[in-house]
């Protein structure tokens, strides 16, 4: 329970910090603020890919990429999936690439067959990287589930979001980058 409370506190703090760093509320109405967090880290130490051949950030040049750190037993992650799937369906042909980075919290989530069954049951069609050893998680310096990293066409992380909610702001950012 202590660990969950810590994650919730961190997630809430992360949202506040991301909003402050991004200059939320700055700029013209309708233009989401962006912050340059630097180059997106490469997918590292991936144990396998589901729904895709191995992907690289270098290979995504020219696309908008949404990296979603999740795990299939996390209720908060499960609550975000309908929105992520909707964004994928709506924007995949317009230049959005969604990559789920499945980083397990529990030992049974490391089993490929369990992950594949969950992906099928949940209707996830976009690429999912199996990050059993937290290599990509560590490369992004991530600390919570769910966590979203929006990457522009130049390969720069421009928006971070931790936890559920704020879907309108994230979709506005996706649309702005695609335009």
Asked if 150 and 174 count as a contact pair (C-beta separation under 8 A), the reply is yes
Domain ranges of the chain: 2-178
Residue-wise burial string across 56-91, b where 16 or more C-beta atoms lie within 10 A, e elsewhere: ebeebeebbbbbbbbbbebebbbebbeebbebbeeb
Superfamily of structural domain 2-178: Glutaredoxin (3.40.30.10)
The residue whose two tokens read 């299939």 is: 72
Cis peptide before 159 (omega within 30 of 0): no
Confidence tier at 32 by pLDDT (50, 70, 90)? confident
pLDDT at 24: 42
pLDDT at 119: 98
pLDDT, the chain, mean: 88
Strand partners, 120: none
pLDDT at 30: 55
- Helix axes 75-91 and 167-178, enclosed angle (nearest 10): 30
Q: What is the pLDDT of residues 70-111, one digit of tens each?
A: 999 999 999 999 999 999 999 999 999 999 999 999 999 999
């Amino acid at each position: 329970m202590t660990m969950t409370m810590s994650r919730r506190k961190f997630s809430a703090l992360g949202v506040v910090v991301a909003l402050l760093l991004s200059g939320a509320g700055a700029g013209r109405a309708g233009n989401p603020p962006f912050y340059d967090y630097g180059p997106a880290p490469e997918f590292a130490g991936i144990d396998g890919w589901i729904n895709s051949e191995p992907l690289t950030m270098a290979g995504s040049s020219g696309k908008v990429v949404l990296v979603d750190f999740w795990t299939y037993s996390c209720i908060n992650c499960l609550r975000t999936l309908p929105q992520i799937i909707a964004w994928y369906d709506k924007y995949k042909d317009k230049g959005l690439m969604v990559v789920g980075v499945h980083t397990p919290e529990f030992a049974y989530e490391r089993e490929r067959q369990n992950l594949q069954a969950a992906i099928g049951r949940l209707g996830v069609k976009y690429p999912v990287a199996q990050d059993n050893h937290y290599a990509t998680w560590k490369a992004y310096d991530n600390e919570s589930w769910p966590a979203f990293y929006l990457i522009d066409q130049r390969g720069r992380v421009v928006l971070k979001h931790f936890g559920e909610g704020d879907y309108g702001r994230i979709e506005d950012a996706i649309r702005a980058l695609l335009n």
